[in-house]
A and B are shown apart, each in its own frame.
Chain A
Amino acid sequence: MQRRRNKWVAFAAWLGIWLCLLAALALLMLVPGWILPLLLAPLVAWLAATRIGRQTWSATEVAIATIPQRLGSSSVVVVGIAGVVGVLVALLAMAAGFAATLQQSGSDDTAIVLRAGAQTELNSVLDHDTVTLVSQLPMVRHTQAGQPIASSELVVVAALPKRSTGLDANVEVRGVGERAWDLRPKLRLIAGRKFSPGLRELIVGKRALEQFAGVGIGSTLKLNGQDWRIVGEFEAGDANDSDLWGDFEVVGPAYRRGSSATSVTVRLTDASAFESFRAALATDPRIKVDVKTTRDYFNEQSAQLTKLINGLGTAIGLIMGIGAVFGALNSMYAAVAARTREIATLRAVGFRALPVIVSVMLETMLLATLGGAIGAAIAWLLFNNYTASTLGANFTQIVFAFQVTPELLWRGLKWALAIGLLGGLFPALRAARMSVTDGLREL
């Protein structure tokens, strides 16, 4: 009877430990990263103020002091976790950078009009009459001079060699009119001058200049058999930076597109005018178009790839993390085994089980934090602002910079702590359950 009850007690304890562990992991994943330092405060207070806390601290001190004797297995914990956090943060930074580049391109009070069903500018064609009808709607804001802020734009594609590989990649060439500048207030020239209307001149986006060869100011580009001169460089801080811009009236004929446009972007009188703008376009029988706010348009373009990279990054991090947990378990079991006599001595001189458990946990968490910090630091040093490019919705390259945001660094640290928690708890429990007499006899 007694035996059976013991079994149940053991089972209940085991279940309790697992439930606590899962709860702690869930909590760790849910809370925002900046809370972590706040959680540290009560821990420090407990360590400093209570008797048992002070016991724990001295046990931890002993554990930390012996780390140099177990450098090999301790570094497994650190490097394993650094690897997981580094890869995770780098991949998430790629997704964050791509999403930010596209999302910054959009706003709520500008709307883009495409041919019905076209989804992207590449697929869209709007004739001159449609463009005129759209621009004349009353929801479109006007300049001081009384002109509607509506920009009909023509997107065509040029193949340019990438600097990194030398392989041709598609680059967006955008034919724009005077109003394009009013629609993108962030965009400004940083070198050279604007293209002159009517001439075969282009200005190049900052990111495009970084990624593609042969587009520096002063160089000549062959597009569709004709020579174009690059006369300026611009920066907008968003997806526009991947483009080359030329005069709408010149790009169209050069690509045999006549006076047709691929899209019209308008600035609305204010964001709330969008619904009536959409309704006005939908009810006009002369035109068949789709309209979205530019924020929605660019968000949709980034959503799929961002989701994919985030999913991949998490999956890869998870698999690596499982590997790292087992590595940490191994190392911490070995650490506890190596310190058997030390721990037994502590118990013999009156230390309770809790300080021993907490001290092993603290040691693991410390190693994990170190690993997480190293991984995050490496990801930040190597990849923050690292530029890459991929195929966007228009079948052209979108150049973006990786963004290792503080939020991602916190997330990496949280993963490190979760791995430390999993890898430290069971060895800590073993340390506490160890028989004192056997432990003291251990060599």
Chain B
Amino acid sequence: MKYLQLVWAALLRRKTRTLFTLLSVVAAFLLFGLLDSVRGAFAGAGASVNGVNRLVTISKITFTMQLPKSLLERIRAVPGVADVTYANWFGGIYQDPKNFFPNEAVAPNFIDAYPEWRMSAGQRAAFRNTRTGAIVGAKLAKQFHWKIGDRIPLQGTIFPQKDGSNTWTFDLVGIYTVADPKMKAQENALLFNWDYFDEARQFGNGSVGWYVVRIADPARADAIAQQIDAISANSDHETKTQSEHAFQLAFLSQFGDIGLIVGAIMAAVFFTLILLTGNTMAQAVRERIPELAILKTIGFTSGSVLGLLLAEAILLLLLGGVAGVLIAGSVAGGLEATTGAVFPPIVGSAAVWARALGLMLLIGLVVGALPAYRGLRLRIVDALAGR
């Protein structure tokens, strides 16, 4: 620590060069912050602690096929099942298809399966007792300036009403929040009563899109899933039951191999970055050879010269890297606020920071290694003589 000033002075020796290198590092880690968060959002979807005791039962053919509601009681009877609820994808449009958000018809006890969603008891009761009632996430309510008591019209895309009309109007009776900042993305759904939906829709009556099964003991998840699937085996509506996490991963993987694309971009970015900062460090050391020789002459050991040079490289990377990830955080925040993205990047999460810091140290070591080795091997006499 006592050499910090010395390292700092070395960085300030050529201010323009340090600044330019620093800005390149900022750009690289800005990208890292944004892309790694997107990758993390895809890879970590549904991996919350709350999700471990939830299973999702869908049609074995594909999740867009419906299941009969008669399965409800039979699933509930499976030993180990604490509660079962169900929902239907509605796919309604609010004003314009661009305003996409999930909207679903849900059973009265649906929200109870998600203890991480907070809503007052009064609003829960109001939702249960209002036939045309709907609840929305706080983020969605903010985006469209909805408040309790508003009437929200949705254009149905899958389900017309019995009279052939496509306009469904719901009364907003509750707004839920999600405390965990990483799960804030879930505050963007609109849920309404399944009973009203089933009564009013033109076709498909008595069928549900999927069941959400709450189990008491997550360790028995596989056994319970098999028992649930056995109920409908060899019928014409076979089911597939999996953990919520597995279900969401399978769903997201259909969008494409996000991890591969992000990984390839990162590789290009960091390869360039290593070359660039490595070149800067090499230049910086080349110019200072006589100075390093003086340091050694006044008693610095070869080891401490090596340490100083490595520290210089790492400090450069840390300064730029931290700034980059910080900027990524504010950019992502701004994007989320303006677009209400479906998968908002969760920049600033501990995991992203840990990976970023690890990379900064690693790249610092890699780019510092060669020049530092030169410093280590330096012969004082030759260096002072400018040979």
Contacts and interface: CB of A to CB of B under 8 A. Distances in A.
Contacts of A83: 268-269, 271-272
B348 interface: no
A170 interface: yes
Contact of B31 (A119, A225, A320): A320
A159 B20 CA distance: 51
B157 interface: yes
B234 to A, nearest CB: 8
Contact of A72 (B26, B64, B160, B279): B279
B312 to A, nearest CB: 16
A323 B236 contact: no
A119 B157 contact: yes
B208 interface: no
Given A75-B275, A288-B164, A167 B27 contact: no
A224 B24 CA distance: 55
Contacts of A330: 17, 20-21, 24, 276, 279-280
Which secondary structure dominates where chain B touches chain A? helix
B286 to A, nearest CB: 10
Contacts of B269: 83, 87, 320, 323
B250 interface: yes
B238 A225 contact: yes
Interface in A71-101: 72-73, 75-76, 79-80, 83, 86-87, 90
Contacts of A115: 160
Given A83-B271, A86-B268, A331-B279, A326 B255 contact: no
B203 interface: yes
A316 interface: yes
Contacts of B98: 304
B292 to A, nearest CB: 18
B104 to A, nearest CB: 15
Given A87-B268, A158-B61, A320-B31, A390 B279 contact: no
Interface string B51-95: 000000000011011000000000000000000000000010100
Contact of A389 (B62, B238, B256): B256
A326 B61 contact: no
Interface in A355-390: 388-390
A170 B16 contact: no
A73 B272 contact: no
Contacts of B26: 323
B181 to A, nearest CB: 24
A23 B268 CA distance: 30
B155 interface: yes
Contact of A116 (B35, B91, B166, B280): B166
B5 interface: no
Contact of B254 (A170, A224, A316, A333): A170
Contacts of B276: 76, 80, 323, 327, 330
B61 A167 contact: no
A80 B93 CA distance: 44
Contacts of A389: 256
A168 B265 CA distance: 26
Contact of B64 (A79, A157, A326, A388): A157
A90 B269 CA distance: 14
Interface residues of A, number: 53
A403 interface: no
Nearest to B25: A323
Chain B interface size band reads 35 or more
B64 A122 contact: yes
A108 to B, nearest CB: 23
A2 interface: no
Contacts of A322: 23, 27
Given A157-B61, A326-B21, A225 B236 contact: yes
- Of the candidates B30, B155, B203, B269, the one having the most CB atoms from chain A within 10 angstroms of its own CB is B269
B17 A167 contact: no
B20 A327 contact: yes
Nearest to B167: A117
B378 interface: no
B372 interface: no
Nearest to A443: B386
B272 A327 contact: yes
Given A72-B279, A72-B282, A320 B62 contact: no
Contacts of B23: 322-323, 326
Given A72-B282, A117-B160, A326-B23, A256 B254 contact: no
Nearest to B274: A79
A42 B236 CA distance: 75
B97 interface: yes
Nearest to A167: B253
A256 B236 contact: yes
A223 B91 CA distance: 25
Contacts of B62: 157-159, 170
Interface in A115-134: 115-120, 122-123, 125
Contacts of B275: 75-76, 79-80
Interface string A194-229: 000000000000000000000000000001110000
Contacts of B107: none
A324 interface: yes
Interface of B: 16-17, 20-21, 23-28, 30-31, 35, 61-62, 64-65, 91, 93, 97-98, 155-158, 160, 164, 166, 203, 234, 236, 238, 250, 253-257, 264-265, 268-269, 271-273, 275-276, 279-280, 282-283
5 contacts: A117-B155, A322-B27, A323-B28, A326-B27, A330-B20
Interface of A: 72-73, 75-76, 79-80, 83, 86-87, 90, 115-120, 122-123, 125, 157-159, 164-165, 167-170, 223-225, 256, 288, 304, 316, 319-320, 322-324, 326-327, 329-331, 333-334, 388-391, 395, 397
Given A168-B250, A320-B268, A391-B255, 15 more contacts: A83-B268, A90-B264, A115-B160, A157-B62, A316-B35, A319-B31, A323-B27, A323-B28, A323-B269, A327-B21, A327-B24, A327-B272, A330-B279, A333-B17, A388-B257
